[in-house]
């Protein structure tokens, strides 16, 4: 037989029907004694160990928080330093750009001045060359015109004008007359 069957038989023999929800007084007493023993062991042994573990974790968390605050403070200082360096670098870059603009303006001015001087020298050189070529052309024209005039005068007059001194005087007189006629024409035009 099983234990449950035996309990049912004992209950029927006693004549009273026991309430299955309310335990017997001796069960309550022994259950209370065992419960107090377990609570005492828990309070004396397990609770201090559990409290030590919780305290250790609290210290670790507090230490981690302190480290995090320290790291945050260091990060804030590094950010501030970085910002200061960035500001200084930007100011330096602006100064360098301004210096470069100034130097570029100075170089452009010097180059313009040099180019103007070179252009002036070229103009002067060209003017001198033109004047020299004009003088040379005038001399060449005088010589050719004089030779032609002498030959023409020789043919018209019928006598030879081979004398150099006479020839030069006649040529100079002819050219002076020609220039005198051309000068009033230029003044009018």
User: What are the pLDDT tens digits along the chain (189 aa)?
Assistant: 576 666 666 656 655 566 677 777 788 889 999 999 999 998 999 899 989 999 999 999 998 889 989 999 999 999 999 999 999 999 999 999 999 999 999 999 999 999 999 999 999 999 999 999 988 888 788 777 777 777 777 667 655 556 667 667 777 777 787 778 777 666 665
Token digits of residue 73: 């403070």
Token digits of residue 44: 């004396």
Phi/psi region, residue 19 (left: phi>0; alpha: psi -120 to 50; beta: rest), is: beta
Find the angle CA(70)-CA(72)-CA(73) to the nearest 5 degrees.
Answer: 65
Instruction: Give the H or E element holding residue 113.
Output: helix 47-157
Query: How many CA atoms does the CB half-sphere of 181 hold within 13 Å?
Result: 6
Phi/psi region, residue 158 (left: phi>0; alpha: psi -120 to 50; beta: rest), is: left
Scored b (16 or more CB within 10 A) or e, 128-162 reads eeeeeeeeeeeeeebeeebeebbeebeeeeeeebe
Cα distances (Å, whole numbers) of residue 94 to 83, 84, 104, 105, 136: 16, 15, 15, 16, 61
pLDDT tens-digit map of 62-98: 988 899 899 999 999 999 999 999 999 999 999 999 9
The structure's pTM equals 0.37
pLDDT tens-digit map of 163-175: 667 667 777 777 7
Q: What is the biggest distance separating any 2 CA atoms in the chain, rounded to whole angstroms?
A: 196
Phi/psi region, residue 15 (left: phi>0; alpha: psi -120 to 50; beta: rest), is: left
């Amino acid at each position: 037989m099983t234990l449950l069957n035996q309990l049912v038989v004992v209950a029927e023999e006693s004549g009273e029907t026991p309430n299955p929800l309310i335990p017997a007084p001796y069960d309550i007493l022994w259950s209370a004694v065992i419960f107090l023993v377990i609570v005492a062991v828990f309070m004396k042994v397990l609770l201090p160990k559990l409290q030590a573990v919780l305290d250790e974790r609290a210290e670790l968390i507090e230490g981690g928080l302190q480290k995090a605050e320290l790291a945050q403070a260091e990060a804030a200082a590094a950010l501030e330093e970085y910002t200061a360096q960035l500001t200084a670098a930007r100011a330096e870059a602006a100064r360098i750009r301004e210096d470069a603009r100034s130097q570029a303006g100075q170089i452009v001015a010097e180059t313009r001045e040099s180019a103007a001087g070179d252009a002036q020298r070229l103009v002067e050189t060209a003017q001198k060359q033109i004047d020299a070529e004009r003088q040379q052309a005038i001399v060449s024209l005088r010589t050719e015109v004089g030779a032609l005039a002498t030959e023409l005068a020789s043919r018209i007059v019928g006598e030879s004008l081979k004398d150099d001194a006479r020839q030069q005087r006649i040529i100079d007189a002819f050219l002076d007359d020609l220039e005198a006629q051309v000068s009033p024409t230029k003044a009018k035009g």
